[in-house]
Amino acid sequence: MATLLIKNGTVVTLGDKNRVIEDGAVLIDGSLIKAVGKSADFTDDYDRVIDARNLVVLPGFINTHMHFYSTMVRGLGKIKPAVDFVDLLKKLWWRLDKQLVLDDCYYSALIPLIEAVKKGTTTLIDHHASPFAVAGSLDRIARAVGEVGLRASLCYEVSDRDGEEIAAEGLKENVRFIERCKAEDGESLRAMFGLHASFTVSEKTLKRAVELEKDLDVGFHLHVAEAASDQEHCLENFGMRVVERLEKAGVLGRKTIAAHCVHVDDNEMDLLKATDTSVVHNPQSNINNAVGVADIIKMAEKDIRVGLGTDAMTVNMLEELRQALWIHHLANENPSVGFMESMNTLVTNNARIARRYWDMGIGELREGYAADIILMEYYPPTPFDEGTFLGHLGFGLSQVSVDTTIVGGRILMEGGELKIDVDQEAIAGESRKLAARLWERF
């Protein structure tokens, strides 16, 4: 096991008792953090030393709801204007995913994973769909994850929108990949059981998914009440609201992620809390799709664990965080609300969510925790300590670049230069060729 000492930096530990350590150091032994403290306390010989002077040392950021495959629509203009969210799904996203082939799945993951390294995002929880290239699609994405060196949890989005046969393939792909991850028991890959959303999943498919997941015990990852139409469909077809249907079916629980939850009422929030289900807020996507604003302030009052995802709008978690701040000021017509609720999604709850899938500690600089660490060059113009850190994160650190990214003790980027064996130019070139062919099929 090689040792790596990061010293002379401003260390921000995060965690329940966040510490800001001036002239701090983090000692990495293999893939784990061995010690955190003042630089003067580390006097032994180490295999490698990084001088973090003028750098802030932080845990890597975590993205708890992502869609890698969305990469393939950048710049696409071949769609007619949509009048609402479901219309947008039909005209863009459900047309896109039908055209994906396995190579598209691989490259569409590789591109944002490399970008994530540059933005200091070290763990991503993804939600994939490619209904006419289901079998093996998660393996292709997993290959990209391994080549870049990040952590990721993957799932296949099961839906009945393309018929029972494809829904059955999705169920099979989830089970196969979950069993693969359990057998490998590695540190980087995890799996969940993916479902699209209540309004595209039949009773038969929902029941079968719950039966299959029960023995696997990995939790579900699905969209919940993203638009009002999801609730309308559920009330009309099942006589109950979306969260009620999911709770009755056995989908909710401590390992399940309910993404969005824009249109949930008080009773549904109580069910999410009672089942210990995690909610993931995706503010930029919700703004872009004009579906509304999730009431994470009320959710926080009810002590619901709300994390932060990007829904593929970006891999820059600080960009997403800032949008959360602004959207809640506007939605509440009050510039003094939503600060802590928004901040906690990223700095506290995303780590708590991730730790439900990775059995090692993650998201905190602490002895025995995963050595997922980023360094950001920052010269604080005002006092920088535990009491001011969040303000610096939202209004200062969010405006600077990531200098170094480390995952599991492995340096993926240093001094702004990638240290992984990838050829960005060649990868982007191949992706453009694949995207051009995909757009022709669109």
Please check whether residues 25 and 159 belong to one and the same domain. no
Please check whether residues 223 and 372 belong to one and the same domain. no
Number of neighbours of residue 72 by Cβ within 10 angstroms: 23
| pLDDT greater than 80 at residue 346 | yes
Q: CA-to-CA distance for 165 and 163, rounded, in angstroms?
A: 6
Residue 116 falls within a domain, yes or no?
A: yes
Tell me the mean pLDDT in the region 326-335.
96
CB contact at 8 A, 170 and 226: no
Pull the structure tokens for residue 95: 């047309």
Residue 442 falls within a domain, yes or no?
A: no
Tell me the mean pLDDT in the region 337-358.
98
The pLDDT of residue 79 is: 85
**CATH (domain of 79):** 3.20.20.140
The pLDDT of residue 167 is: 98
Tell me the mean pLDDT in the region 260-269.
98
| pLDDT greater than 90 at residue 77 | no
Residue 277 falls within a domain, yes or no?
A: yes
Please check whether residues 376 and 259 belong to one and the same domain. no
CB contact at 8 A, 256 and 249: no
- Which residues constitute the domain of residue 74? 61-354
Residue 286 falls within a domain, yes or no?
A: yes
Q: CA-to-CA distance for 82 and 227, rounded, in angstroms?
A: 14
Please check whether residues 350 and 377 belong to one and the same domain. no
Please check whether residues 73 and 179 belong to one and the same domain. yes
The pLDDT of residue 296 is: 98
The pLDDT of residue 360 is: 87
* First vs last C-alpha separation in the chain: 49
| pLDDT averaged over every residue in the chain | 97
Q: Is 327 left (phi over 0), alpha (psi -120 to 50) or beta?
A: alpha
User: Taking the complete model, does pTM exceed 0.85, yes or no?
Assistant: yes
Please check whether residues 384 and 414 belong to one and the same domain. yes
Q: CA-to-CA distance for 223 and 28, rounded, in angstroms?
A: 37
Please check whether residues 143 and 286 belong to one and the same domain. yes
Residue 164 falls within a domain, yes or no?
A: yes
Percentage of residues of the chain with pLDDT beyond 70: 100
Please check whether residues 327 and 242 belong to one and the same domain. yes
Please check whether residues 376 and 342 belong to one and the same domain. no
Pull the structure tokens for residue 298: 């009320």
Please check whether residues 56 and 66 belong to one and the same domain. no
**CATH (domain of 398):** 2.30.40.10
Residue 11 falls within a domain, yes or no?
A: yes
Taking only the tens place, the pLDDT of each residue in 78-135 is 788 999 999 999 999 999 999 999 999 999 999 999 999 999 999 999 999 999 999 9
Tell me the mean pLDDT in the region 9-33.
97
Residue 435 falls within a domain, yes or no?
A: no
Please check whether residues 11 and 77 belong to one and the same domain. no
Q: Is 363 left (phi over 0), alpha (psi -120 to 50) or beta?
A: left
How many domains would you assign to the chain?
Answer: 2
The pLDDT of residue 78 is: 75
Please check whether residues 260 and 328 belong to one and the same domain. yes
